[in-house]
Amino acid sequence: MPIATRRPPPDAVAWSALGRQLPRAAGLIASLTVLIIALTWQVGADAGVTAIDQTILDWMIAHRGEPLTTVTEVITGLGDTLSMAVLAMIVAIGFAVRGTPRTAALVAMTSFGAAVLVGVIKPLVGRQRPPELTRLAVEPSLSYPSGHTLGTTVVVGIVALTVLPHVRRRWIRRTAAVAAVAFAIAVGLSRVYLGVHWSTDVAAGWSIGLLWLTVCVTVFPWVSQRFPERG
Protein backbone atom coordinates (compact mmCIF):
# COMPACT_ATOMS: atom_id res chain seq x y z
CA MET A 1 0.00 0.00 0.00
CA PRO A 2 1.59 3.34 -1.05
CA ILE A 3 2.47 5.75 1.70
CA ALA A 4 0.54 8.99 1.49
CA THR A 5 2.71 12.09 1.42
CA ARG A 6 1.63 15.54 2.36
CA ARG A 7 1.86 17.97 -0.52
CA PRO A 8 3.53 21.30 0.28
CA PRO A 9 1.34 24.39 0.22
CA PRO A 10 1.00 25.85 -3.28
CA ASP A 11 2.59 29.11 -2.25
CA ALA A 12 5.62 27.27 -0.86
CA VAL A 13 6.07 25.58 -4.25
CA ALA A 14 5.69 28.91 -6.08
CA TRP A 15 8.40 30.89 -4.30
CA SER A 16 10.43 28.64 -2.02
CA ALA A 17 13.31 28.82 -4.50
CA LEU A 18 13.69 32.51 -3.67
CA GLY A 19 14.86 31.65 -0.19
CA ARG A 20 17.53 29.27 -1.48
CA GLN A 21 19.49 32.04 -3.16
CA LEU A 22 21.05 33.16 0.12
CA PRO A 23 24.71 33.58 -0.99
CA ARG A 24 23.77 35.62 -4.05
CA ALA A 25 21.19 37.62 -2.11
CA ALA A 26 23.67 38.31 0.69
CA GLY A 27 26.13 39.75 -1.80
CA LEU A 28 23.47 41.95 -3.36
CA ILE A 29 22.25 43.12 0.06
CA ALA A 30 25.79 44.02 1.14
CA SER A 31 26.51 45.90 -2.09
CA LEU A 32 23.27 47.85 -1.98
CA THR A 33 23.77 48.72 1.67
CA VAL A 34 27.20 50.20 0.98
CA LEU A 35 25.85 52.09 -2.04
CA ILE A 36 22.91 53.53 -0.09
CA ILE A 37 25.07 54.60 2.86
CA ALA A 38 27.55 56.32 0.54
CA LEU A 39 24.81 58.01 -1.49
CA THR A 40 22.94 59.19 1.60
CA TRP A 41 26.13 60.56 3.14
CA GLN A 42 26.96 62.52 -0.01
CA VAL A 43 23.42 63.88 -0.26
CA GLY A 44 23.55 64.97 3.37
CA ALA A 45 26.90 66.67 2.79
CA ASP A 46 25.78 68.11 -0.56
CA ALA A 47 28.97 66.79 -2.11
CA GLY A 48 30.35 64.28 -4.57
CA VAL A 49 27.80 62.69 -6.83
CA THR A 50 25.16 65.34 -6.07
CA ALA A 51 27.03 67.62 -8.46
CA ILE A 52 25.25 65.89 -11.34
CA ASP A 53 21.77 66.68 -10.01
CA GLN A 54 21.47 70.18 -11.42
CA THR A 55 22.99 69.15 -14.75
CA ILE A 56 20.52 66.32 -15.22
CA LEU A 57 17.57 68.46 -14.14
CA ASP A 58 18.58 71.24 -16.57
CA TRP A 59 18.81 68.69 -19.39
CA MET A 60 15.35 67.34 -18.57
CA ILE A 61 13.86 70.85 -18.50
CA ALA A 62 15.46 71.68 -21.86
CA HIS A 63 13.82 68.62 -23.44
CA ARG A 64 10.30 69.13 -22.11
CA GLY A 65 7.46 69.22 -24.59
CA GLU A 66 4.28 67.53 -25.75
CA PRO A 67 3.25 64.73 -25.95
CA LEU A 68 6.16 63.72 -23.68
CA THR A 69 4.94 65.78 -20.74
CA THR A 70 1.46 64.24 -20.87
CA VAL A 71 2.90 60.72 -21.11
CA THR A 72 5.22 61.45 -18.19
CA GLU A 73 2.34 62.71 -16.06
CA VAL A 74 0.41 59.51 -16.77
CA ILE A 75 3.39 57.34 -15.85
CA THR A 76 4.04 59.21 -12.61
CA GLY A 77 0.34 58.95 -11.74
CA LEU A 78 0.39 55.19 -12.24
CA GLY A 79 3.34 54.98 -9.88
CA ASP A 80 1.90 57.03 -7.04
CA THR A 81 1.20 55.74 -3.53
CA LEU A 82 -2.50 55.10 -4.09
CA SER A 83 -1.98 53.16 -7.32
CA MET A 84 0.69 50.96 -5.77
CA ALA A 85 -1.38 50.38 -2.64
CA VAL A 86 -4.36 49.27 -4.73
CA LEU A 87 -2.17 46.97 -6.83
CA ALA A 88 -0.60 45.36 -3.76
CA MET A 89 -4.00 44.92 -2.10
CA ILE A 90 -5.56 43.29 -5.16
CA VAL A 91 -2.67 40.86 -5.55
CA ALA A 92 -2.54 40.02 -1.83
CA ILE A 93 -6.29 39.37 -1.73
CA GLY A 94 -6.00 37.27 -4.88
CA PHE A 95 -3.39 35.02 -3.31
CA ALA A 96 -5.40 34.75 -0.09
CA VAL A 97 -8.50 33.69 -2.04
CA ARG A 98 -6.46 31.11 -3.97
CA GLY A 99 -5.43 29.49 -0.69
CA THR A 100 -1.88 30.84 -0.61
CA PRO A 101 -1.90 33.05 2.48
CA ARG A 102 1.86 33.05 2.89
CA THR A 103 2.35 34.67 -0.48
CA ALA A 104 -0.44 37.11 0.34
CA ALA A 105 1.39 38.02 3.53
CA LEU A 106 4.67 38.40 1.66
CA VAL A 107 3.12 40.85 -0.81
CA ALA A 108 1.37 42.82 1.93
CA MET A 109 4.38 42.97 4.25
CA THR A 110 6.82 43.95 1.52
CA SER A 111 4.56 46.67 0.13
CA PHE A 112 3.70 48.13 3.53
CA GLY A 113 7.36 48.14 4.49
CA ALA A 114 8.16 50.33 1.49
CA ALA A 115 5.74 52.99 2.71
CA VAL A 116 7.26 52.84 6.19
CA LEU A 117 10.78 53.27 4.80
CA VAL A 118 9.79 56.37 2.86
CA GLY A 119 8.08 57.85 5.91
CA VAL A 120 11.12 57.22 8.12
CA ILE A 121 13.97 58.18 5.79
CA LYS A 122 12.59 61.43 4.37
CA PRO A 123 12.54 63.37 7.67
CA LEU A 124 15.87 61.86 8.74
CA VAL A 125 17.64 63.19 5.64
CA GLY A 126 15.52 66.33 5.36
CA ARG A 127 16.44 67.17 1.79
CA GLN A 128 14.49 69.87 -0.02
CA ARG A 129 13.06 69.37 -3.50
CA PRO A 130 14.22 71.28 -6.59
CA PRO A 131 13.06 74.91 -6.83
CA GLU A 132 9.30 75.35 -7.32
CA LEU A 133 9.81 77.21 -10.59
CA THR A 134 11.16 74.02 -12.18
CA ARG A 135 8.27 71.79 -11.07
CA LEU A 136 5.36 70.62 -13.21
CA ALA A 137 3.62 69.01 -10.23
CA VAL A 138 2.78 69.98 -6.67
CA GLU A 139 4.69 67.98 -4.05
CA PRO A 140 4.75 69.30 -0.46
CA SER A 141 6.86 66.55 1.15
CA LEU A 142 10.64 66.22 1.40
CA SER A 143 12.73 64.96 -1.46
CA TYR A 144 15.05 62.07 -0.46
CA PRO A 145 14.38 59.35 -1.40
CA SER A 146 11.80 59.44 -4.18
CA GLY A 147 8.72 57.77 -2.71
CA HIS A 148 7.20 57.08 -6.13
CA THR A 149 10.41 55.37 -7.26
CA LEU A 150 10.92 53.34 -4.09
CA GLY A 151 7.29 52.27 -3.88
CA THR A 152 7.06 51.28 -7.52
CA THR A 153 10.31 49.31 -7.37
CA VAL A 154 9.08 47.34 -4.35
CA VAL A 155 5.43 46.79 -5.25
CA VAL A 156 5.89 46.04 -8.95
CA GLY A 157 8.89 43.90 -8.05
CA ILE A 158 7.10 41.76 -5.46
CA VAL A 159 4.06 41.41 -7.71
CA ALA A 160 6.25 40.23 -10.58
CA LEU A 161 8.19 37.79 -8.38
CA THR A 162 5.05 36.20 -6.95
CA VAL A 163 2.69 36.30 -9.93
CA LEU A 164 4.93 35.51 -12.91
CA PRO A 165 5.95 32.00 -11.71
CA HIS A 166 2.28 31.04 -12.16
CA VAL A 167 2.29 32.11 -15.82
CA ARG A 168 2.86 29.09 -18.07
CA ARG A 169 4.05 30.74 -21.27
CA ARG A 170 7.69 31.68 -21.08
CA TRP A 171 7.47 34.58 -23.53
CA ILE A 172 4.71 36.17 -21.45
CA ARG A 173 6.79 35.83 -18.28
CA ARG A 174 9.82 37.40 -19.94
CA THR A 175 7.83 40.21 -21.53
CA ALA A 176 6.09 41.00 -18.24
CA ALA A 177 9.39 40.96 -16.35
CA VAL A 178 10.95 43.41 -18.79
CA ALA A 179 7.84 45.59 -18.58
CA ALA A 180 8.01 45.61 -14.77
CA VAL A 181 11.63 46.76 -14.80
CA ALA A 182 10.95 49.33 -17.51
CA PHE A 183 8.00 50.74 -15.56
CA ALA A 184 10.03 51.21 -12.38
CA ILE A 185 12.73 52.97 -14.41
CA ALA A 186 10.17 55.13 -16.21
CA VAL A 187 8.52 56.23 -12.97
CA GLY A 188 11.87 57.30 -11.55
CA LEU A 189 12.80 59.26 -14.66
CA SER A 190 9.37 60.90 -14.71
CA ARG A 191 10.00 62.38 -11.27
CA VAL A 192 13.13 64.15 -12.49
CA TYR A 193 11.45 65.24 -15.72
CA LEU A 194 8.60 66.83 -13.76
CA GLY A 195 11.14 68.68 -11.63
CA VAL A 196 9.95 67.27 -8.29
CA HIS A 197 13.06 65.20 -7.52
CA TRP A 198 16.79 65.31 -7.97
CA SER A 199 18.38 62.43 -9.83
CA THR A 200 20.07 61.17 -6.65
CA ASP A 201 16.63 60.98 -4.96
CA VAL A 202 15.56 58.62 -7.71
CA ALA A 203 18.78 56.60 -7.54
CA ALA A 204 18.18 56.18 -3.81
CA GLY A 205 14.59 55.12 -4.47
CA TRP A 206 15.70 52.37 -6.81
CA SER A 207 18.53 51.23 -4.51
CA ILE A 208 16.56 51.23 -1.24
CA GLY A 209 13.58 49.62 -2.95
CA LEU A 210 15.70 46.83 -4.40
CA LEU A 211 17.42 46.30 -1.05
CA TRP A 212 14.11 45.97 0.81
CA LEU A 213 12.69 43.71 -1.89
CA THR A 214 15.73 41.44 -1.73
CA VAL A 215 15.62 41.24 2.05
CA CYS A 216 11.92 40.33 2.04
CA VAL A 217 12.05 37.60 -0.60
CA THR A 218 15.14 36.10 1.04
CA VAL A 219 14.12 36.21 4.70
CA PHE A 220 10.35 35.67 4.52
CA PRO A 221 10.41 32.13 3.00
CA TRP A 222 13.07 31.08 5.53
CA VAL A 223 11.04 32.40 8.47
CA SER A 224 7.68 31.10 7.27
CA GLN A 225 8.95 27.55 6.84
CA ARG A 226 9.58 27.45 10.60
CA PHE A 227 5.95 28.22 11.28
CA PRO A 228 4.02 25.72 9.14
CA GLU A 229 0.34 26.36 8.60
CA ARG A 230 -2.11 24.01 10.20
CA GLY A 231 -3.79 21.80 7.69
Domain count, the chain: 1
Predicted local confidence at residue 14, as pLDDT: 46
pLDDT of 26: 82
From first to last of the 231 residues of the chain, give the pLDDT tens digit: 444 444 544 454 444 555 456 667 788 899 999 999 999 999 988 888 888 999 999 999 999 999 999 999 999 999 999 999 999 999 999 999 988 888 899 999 999 999 999 999 999 999 999 999 889 988 888 999 999 999 999 999 999 999 998 888 999 999 999 999 999 999 999 999 999 999 999 999 999 999 999 999 888 776 666 555 443
Residue 203, domain member (yes or no): yes
Q: At what angle do helices 170-193 and 199-224 cross, to 10 degrees?
A: 140
Q: Does any domain span residue 36?
A: yes
Q: Report if residue 184 sits inside a domain.
A: yes
Instruction: Choose among 186, 184, 138: nearest CA to 160.
Output: 184
**Residue 121 within any structural domain of the chain:** yes
CB count, 10 Å around CB of 39? Answer: 21
Would you say 198 and 50 are in contact if contact means Cβ atoms under 8 Å apart? Answer: yes
**Is 3 inside any structural domain?**
no
Radius of gyration for the chain, computed over Cα atoms and rounded to the nearest angstrom: 20
Q: What is the CATH number of the domain that holds 114?
A: 1.20.144
Contact between 62 and 56 under an 8 Å Cβ cutoff? The reply is: no
In a domain, 205, yes or no: yes
pTM, full prediction? 0.86
Instruction: Specify the pLDDT at position 21.
Output: 66
Residue 138 domain-assigned (yes or no):
yes
Q: Is residue 4 part of a domain?
A: no
What is the DSSP secondary structure assignment for residue 18, as one 8-state letter? G
Neighbours of 194 (CB within 10 A): 22
Q: What is the DSSP letter of 46?
A: T
Task: For residue 124, give its domain range.
Answer: 14-224
